[in-house]
Amino acid sequence: MTRRYSRRDFIGLALSAAAFPWLACKRSAERVVNFFNWSLYISPKTLPRFTERTGIKVNYEEIADDEEMFAKLRAGVGGYDVVVASDYMIPRMRELGLIDPYPAGALKNLRHIDPKFRATPYDPDNSYTVPYMWGTTGIGYNRGKVKSPPQSWWALWDESYRGKISMLDNARDNIATALLLKGYPETTTDPKAFADISEMLSRQRPLVKQYSSGTYIDNLITGEISLAMSWSGDVLQAARENPQLDYVIPKEGSYLWVDNLLLVRGGPNREEALQLIDFLLEPEVNAEITSFVRYASPNASARKLLDPGLLSDPRVFPPASVMKRLRIHALLPPETTQLWNQTWSDIKLG
Ligand code: N2P
């Protein structure tokens, strides 16, 4: 049986990463790279294959969300070489000097990336980002536990699901979705808009069993949660374990995001980092990751290798009719991001 690559699978790696052994002593003979990626975002075969091919050991650590990664890098926690971060984080990370540009010509496999994912608003000159995977935010649900398949975001405000609802634990998804539902532009700073969405998210709070961006998947699998604001591939991976699980992009629309491989400034193993990133861009490697994680790949050559069933799954690669309802996150100035974070932490504190 195929299994999700869960936190438990990483326990050996995570334990060694937790102790940060590479910070203290890097044996000169040993080549390593320190990779900080989201949970549920790689195949179990990928990193062992890289090590087998190159002899480079990968210290792999998982991020729960962008904010955690950003906070760590900003606080100067050193030792990372490669991190994965969402589109909207890039300009801010660049501004703060947390990431380095890619040296020209360093990645021979960059040519496999679909040009649609280059020259983006968050990296117009393609210097800081290599797109890794993309996906959407929507609702994961258990068919056996809902009255009918949810079609609207408002299902997450339905009293009859009290205690069976999970929401992602980050400001970006929650505030952006609330603004969208109330018809405000994502860039607004209007106090009325923030009062409105605070009321709406606070009203939802008693119905919410948990705010989580990682363990919600386990609770969806066991049936403890019936409905969850989710990331597409996480739910589709979980559906391999519980076939009752499904994923929908609500009719009001939602967000798509592109996650990127970034070079951390001051990373101790730059050469190894570039080798790892170039490996992740190889069509066969990328197709294997895509098939496993069920997120969408921006790698055009990898897409040609995918199972046609996966390519035509509208939950993974949304068709044009659904794409019309999706948007990417706005790039917000720091003061607005601060307002979002403050609003979110007030809501959570209650
Ligand atoms: C897998 C990846 C989620 C990415 N958990 C959200 N940008």
Q: Which atom of ligand 1 is nearest to the CA of 233?
A: 1
- Judge residue 49's burial from the number of C-beta atoms within 10 Å of its C-beta, 0-12 exposed, 13-18 middle, 19 or more buried: middle
Read off the tokens for 69.
């990664």
Instruction: Give the residue among 182, 199, 230, 205 at the shortest CA–CA distance from 343.
Output: 199
pLDDT of 227 reads 98
Q: Residue 38 C-alpha to ligand 1 middle, in angstroms?
A: 6
Is 244 part of any domain?
A: yes
- pLDDT value at 8 more than 50: no
Q: Which of 58-67, 130-139, 146-155 has the lowest mean pLDDT?
A: 58-67
Is 262 part of any domain?
A: yes
Residue pLDDT, tens place only, 295-332: 999 999 999 999 999 999 999 999 999 999 999 999 99
Backbone angles phi, psi at 315, to 5 degrees: -80, -20
Residue pLDDT, tens place only, 249-289: 999 999 999 999 999 999 999 999 999 999 999 999 999 99
Residue pLDDT, tens place only, 187-207: 999 999 999 999 999 999 999
Tell me the C-alpha distance between 31 and 271, whole Å. Answer: 10
- pLDDT value at 157 more than 90: yes
pLDDT of 106 reads 97
Cβ–ligand 1 contact at 255 (below 6 Å): no
Are residue 22 and residue 54 in the same domain, yes or no? yes
Is 15 part of any domain?
A: yes
Is 2 part of any domain?
A: no
If phi > 0 it is left, if psi is from -120 to 50 it is alpha, else beta; for residue 256 that is beta
Confidence at 350, pLDDT banded by 50, 70, 90: confident
Read off the tokens for 312.
């035509």
pLDDT of 149 reads 98
- pLDDT value at 2 more than 50: no
Is 312 part of any domain?
A: yes
Residue pLDDT, tens place only, 170-181: 999 999 999 999
- The stretch 85-101 carries a mean pLDDT of 96
Are residue 124 and residue 146 in the same domain, yes or no? no
Question: Are β-strands 326-327 and 32-38 bridged in parallel, bridged antiparallel, or unpaired?
Answer: unpaired
Which residue from 90, 170, 234 has its CB within 8 A of the most atoms of ligand 1, so it is best to mutate? 234
Are residue 235 and residue 264 in the same domain, yes or no? no
Cβ–ligand 1 contact at 41 (below 6 Å): yes
Which residue from 90, 133, 259 has its CB within 8 A of the most atoms of ligand 1, so it is best to mutate? 259
- Give me the half-sphere count of Cα atoms (radius 13 Å) on the Cβ side of residue 319: 4
Tell me the C-alpha distance between 350 and 348, whole Å. Answer: 5
pLDDT of 29 reads 75
pTM of the complete model: 0.91
Instruction: Give the residue among 87, 26, 95, 47 at the shortest CA–CA distance from 256.
Output: 87
Q: Residue 202 C-alpha to ligand 1 middle, in angstroms?
A: 25
Q: Residue 25 C-alpha to ligand 1 middle, in angstroms?
A: 31
- The stretch 110-121 carries a mean pLDDT of 97
Instruction: Report percent pLDDT > 90 for the chain.
Output: 88
pLDDT of 27 reads 54
Are residue 240 and residue 250 in the same domain, yes or no? yes
- pLDDT value at 22 more than 90: no
pLDDT of 16 reads 44
Is 224 part of any domain?
A: yes
**If you average pLDDT over every residue of the chain, what do you get?**
93
- The stretch 31-54 carries a mean pLDDT of 97
Question: What residues make up the domain containing 173?
Answer: 136-255+323-349
Are residue 292 and residue 248 in the same domain, yes or no? no
- pLDDT value at 23 more than 90: no
Q: Which atom of ligand 1 is nearest to the CA of 293?
A: 1
How many domains are there within the chain? 2
- pLDDT value at 224 more than 90: yes
Cβ–ligand 1 contact at 259 (below 6 Å): yes
pLDDT of 97 reads 97
Q: Residue 212 C-alpha to ligand 1 middle, in angstroms?
A: 12
Cβ–ligand 1 contact at 212 (below 6 Å): no
pLDDT of 66 reads 86
Confidence at 64, pLDDT banded by 50, 70, 90: confident
pLDDT of 65 reads 83
Are residue 222 and residue 343 in the same domain, yes or no? yes
pLDDT of 108 reads 98
Are residue 35 and residue 112 in the same domain, yes or no? yes
Are residue 205 and residue 142 in the same domain, yes or no? yes
pLDDT of 194 reads 98
Are residue 199 and residue 244 in the same domain, yes or no? yes
Is 1 part of any domain?
A: no
Q: Residue 251 C-alpha to ligand 1 middle, in angstroms?
A: 21
Tell me the C-alpha distance between 217 and 200, whole Å. Answer: 25
Is 11 part of any domain?
A: yes
Backbone angles phi, psi at 36, to 5 degrees: -115, 105
pLDDT of 67 reads 85
Are residue 42 and residue 127 in the same domain, yes or no? yes
Are residue 52 and residue 128 in the same domain, yes or no? yes
- pLDDT value at 19 more than 90: no
CATH classification at residue 335: 3.40.190.10
Are residue 158 and residue 130 in the same domain, yes or no? no
